[in-house]
Every structure is written in C-alpha cells, then in structure tokens.
Chains A and B, each alone.
Chain A
C-alpha cells in the first residue's frame, strides 16, 4: 500500500517534469519568439533584427534549451514565472488575481457535476427502463454532445434575455455565477451520469444485490445501500478525468461570461503572442492535471477496502 502510494507520487512528479519540459521546449523552441515580442513592444515597428538579437542575448535566450528550462523551472519553483508580455505585470501577480476566479468556477461546477450526475444516474436506475430512464438517457446524450459555448448562449438567451433573471456577464455576486456553473457542469455531468447509470445496472445484476434483496431491502434501498458503494471507484476515476477536462470548459466559459480567470488569460496570451504568459499558464495546467489525477488515484485506492486493507496471508 505504502509502496504503491510512493510509486504513484513519484510517477506523478516525473510526469509533471516531462510534460513541463515538453511544453517549454515547444513554446520556447524558437528563441526569436520572446525577444521579437519584447523588441516589438519597446520599439514598435522600428524593431530590427539587430535589436532582437541583442535582447535575446541579454536574456540568455541563446543558451542551450535544457539550461534555459532548468533556469525557468528554478525561478518558477521560487514563485517567479516571469513578466507577462501582454499586461506587463509579473505572472505571479496575474495568478494571484485570476486563480481564485477559475477555482470558484471549477469548484462550483464540480459540485454541480457531482450532484447532477448522481441524481440523474440514480433516478435512471430507480426508473430502470421506464420513461424517466429513457428521458435521462437522451438528456445525457444531448448534454454530452452540445458544445458548451452553445449551452452558454442558450442559457443567456433564456435566462438573461427572455426572462431577465440572471446576468449574462461579469462577476457580481452569486447570481452571476449560476449560468457559468451550469454551462461548465453540463457536459461532465452528462458523461458521469451515464457512468453512474451503467455501473449501477451492472452492480444490480451481481449476486450481492440479490443478497441485498434477500436481506429484505426494497429495490431502492438495494440501489443506495448495496450498489452505490460499489460504483464509487469508477465514479471517482471518471469524475477526476472529467474534472481535468473542465479546464477546457473554463477557457470557453470565462470568455463567454467575461470572467477574468486563467482560461481567459490563456486565450489572450495566445492571441497576443505572450509566450511568457502562455508558458506560465501551461505549467499551471500541467500541475493541475497531474495532481488531480494523483488525488483521484489515491482517493480511489483508499475507497476500496480490497486495496486499503489487503488480505494478510
């Protein structure tokens, strides 16, 4: 158990290192990228080749790639992610202002995903082939196929334009978060609801479910008390995978609803060729993906008594 745990953590660290190295190599492969941008900002159209070369030399951009990667990584470890070429502010400052926004979006959306998927999956299993089951199946299929920007647009049309209940833009109070949360949650909730439904169905046809009935439980009680604990592990791993994918949702949702989070910053960084900003955000993303996966794996390990308490000989 402990060895498995340590191995998993080591693997995660290795993956983080490799993935950041890869993104660094990609984004910073051409040293001209950053220097040209700085020169352009400083001298406008007057920037020439000599100026770019001088800036590159000053910043050590001509050093070998591994050296530059290690230097960058060392700085990042101390909280120095460079200065954004677009906003001119240190990336650490940008992070401090924007990470809370994205976290609020992800955590609110995440809670909604958990609740929605469990309710939908369980309701489907309770109905078991009935009208509600079919309806929810269709709903999950559409939810898992509708582009989230279209979901956002429809929500704005219905709740902001027609009904005028909720704001369509900005970050002013809880009300302005409702549409972003629903938008970002719909896709993962739909995927997860099907995972819940399918695994519940599988669990209900296993012998222990029959034992549950024999214990005198009603079908609903067997679903909740016997089947539900058994889907915990696929539920957790799928939730982890979907939660990491919610970063893409965040990128779209932050743009549509005008939330100044990391996702919106990333798109702006790409559009304005802010390579330093891009690099820093990608580092953040890699850390996010790898650690969510790690947490989910460990949580799944702890949730399964067969792994938590392996049988002694």
Chain B
C-alpha cells in the first residue's frame, strides 16, 4: 500500500467567535492515498468541511480557529508550517473545488488567466505554455469552445460550466490531492452526474487522491473507494464504500442510508428521516453524541463516549463507534 498523501491524526478543531466557541472536530483521523477517493459524509454542520479544509487554513475569515493534533501532507506538518509555506502548499499540492461555483469564482476576474497563472506558478510553465495549458484544461473539463471561454467572466457562464471551470482551476497547478467540497450541491440534477463523472475521469487519468466532502449518498456510491461517516465532529463509522453502504453498522449510518430515496439497500424499505436535530456543539455532553436521536439508545450511551472498534479486518478495516450494536448483533471485534 502506498503512503498517504494527506493525513490527519487525532485532530481537534475549536472555532471561536466573540459570542460562541464550538468544538467542530473532536479527535478525528483520516488518511488518503494516491489514486483513491475518500468520501467524508455527514450532515451540514457535522464538521466535515472544517476537518478537511481546516488544516489547510481554508476557513472563512472572522472565526478564530484552534487546531490540535497532527496533519501531514507532502511529508510536512501542516499545523507547524509558516503562513507562506502553507499558502504555497495550498496552491500547488492541493486543488479545491467549492460548493457554489457562482460565488466561489471572483466575479471581477476572467476565468482563463487565473488558470494560466496557476499553471505558470506551480507547474513551472512559460506564460505562453501556461495559456495553452489553461485552454486545454478547460477543454479537458468539458467546456466547449475553450478559446472563447478563456476570456469570459463568471457571470457569462452557466452553473454547470462554472463548476467545470472551477475543476479546471483546481487542476491547473497539477495538485496531488483534489478536495471536492459538496461539488454538486448547488447544481441542477442533470448536471450533477456529469460533474461526478468528470471528477472520476480525472482521478483515474491522473491517479491523484480525491477527498469528496458530501451529504449525497448517491455521489458516494458513484465515486468513493472509502467512506468516513462524521457525526457532530466525531467519526461514527468508516470502511470501504461497499462495507459502509451495504452493511452499515452504526445507527446513524443506517438512518442516513434509510433516509435516501430509492437507494438499493437491505435496510431501506421506504424512506425515513432521522428524528431530532444534531446536538449544539457549543455545549456538548459526555457520551455518544448521537444518543439523543438514536433509536437504539441505552443508558450508558449518555455517559460513555464510544470508541471506534474494528468489525471487519482487511486492508481497509470496517470500524464503528457503537458498542450497543456490536453487543446486540453479536458482531466480532478485532482490536
């Protein structure tokens, strides 16, 4: 197995604003290797974006961030990098696709020159070669008439085209890790599938690592090799996409899959919602964070924080943080 290109270990991220402090990520670990797609799944506010982009310093301004733990990429410790080095790493080693391309692309800047600049700075191309590279990146991202689109402003393209341009921009520096933060949420249903197909194609051709942040189980089933299910800043379950999607163990994962319409799953017999709302992370209780909403809740759940236990061994172990299910369904653990 190849070494991971991006990994975090026991990551704790606290967010502070003048009025609230929030533990957005609470002791999570993940790693992603070249050529594989890791999906990080969770509801809005589960901390999936903060966990993935936080170590890169890509959180919005106005919030004070405190990161503890370990985050490594390109053999370097991200949390101890100087701001300048971290910027360079963001530009060259990582490529990021954001949720809403209409607001994520600067309305005052032409699309093409931004790509060319990335190619020039990080792929070491000459100005002319960078321009050619930018046009071919646009073409590769499925944008028709790329020569014309090169000089366009964002408002002149449709949402789907913009997301393709966003992907081209993320690829322009020839990154080793592509992070896609809800890449299809803001798009029309017909365009969503095309964008997912494009990401998969790029990943296969370039053999780069992809981290897909999503709440869309459909996207996970299309793209992901491995899945991490995040709930309230903690990992509830992780494993291969097949394991997690076909044999979910954690009550939250089961609820998540059951709430997906038309998903072929053994559990799903009609769609159903998880009752209740996620906990307020500003004032967390001890114990399992899902306890308040869980249909399998036991008294101990409120006082003891569950740890991840391996239920299927293998190159990618299937691990779940729910002693209740493990005990009730007689699942063997291998820790």
Contacts and interface: CB of A to CB of B under 8 A. Distances in A.
Q: Do chains A and B touch in the complex (CB under 8 A)?
A: yes
Interface of A: 128, 201, 204-219, 226, 229-230, 232, 304-306, 309, 311-312
The 9 closest A-B pairs by CB, nearest first: A216-B91, A229-B108, A214-B96, A208-B106, A305-B153, A207-B103, A207-B104, A218-B87, A211-B104
Contacts of B99: 207
A304 B154 CA distance: 12
Given A205-B62, A218-B83, A210 B109 contact: no
A216 B121 contact: yes
Nearest to B60: A205
Nearest to B87: A218
B182 to A, nearest CB: 12
A173 to B, nearest CB: 41
Contacts of A208: 103-107
A229 B156 contact: no
B153 A309 contact: yes
B305 interface: no
Nearest to B103: A207
23 contacts: A205-B61, A206-B103, A207-B99, A207-B104, A208-B105, A208-B107, A211-B104, A211-B106, A211-B169, A214-B90, A214-B91, A214-B95, A215-B90, A215-B91, A215-B173, A216-B88, A216-B89, A216-B90, A229-B106, A229-B109, A306-B153, A309-B155, A311-B155
Contact of A309 (B62, B156, B169): B156
B114 A215 contact: yes
B272 to A, nearest CB: 34
Contacts of A232: 108
A210 B98 contact: yes
Given A230-B108, A305-B108, A214 B94 contact: yes
B73 to A, nearest CB: 13
B98 A213 contact: no
Interface in B71-114: 83-84, 87-92, 94-96, 98-100, 103-109, 114
A194 to B, nearest CB: 18
A97 to B, nearest CB: 44
A186 B153 CA distance: 37
Nearest to B94: A214
Contacts of B90: 213-216
A205 B169 CA distance: 20
Contacts of B91: 214-217
A207 B100 contact: yes
B111 to A, nearest CB: 11
B58 interface: yes
B30 interface: no
A214 B61 CA distance: 13
A235 B152 CA distance: 24
A305 B105 contact: no
Interface residues of B, number: 38
Contacts of B214: none
B92 A216 contact: yes
Nearest to B152: A309
Given A208-B107, A214-B90, A226-B106, A305 B155 contact: yes
B4 interface: no
Given A217-B91, A305-B107, A210 B60 contact: yes
Contacts of B234: none
A305 B106 CA distance: 11
A218 B92 contact: no
A230 B99 CA distance: 21
Contacts of B98: 207, 210-211, 214
Contacts of B121: 216
Nearest to A208: B106
Contact of A209 (B56, B61, B118, B122): B61
Contacts of B96: 211, 214
B151 to A, nearest CB: 10
Contacts of B170: 214
B61 A230 contact: no
Contacts of B94: 214
Contacts of B105: 208, 211
Nearest to B99: A207
Q: Which of A226, A232, A305 lies at the interface centre, i.e. has the most chain B CB atoms within 10 A of its CB?
A: A305
A213 B57 contact: yes
A128 B62 CA distance: 10
B58 A216 contact: no
A241 B114 CA distance: 33
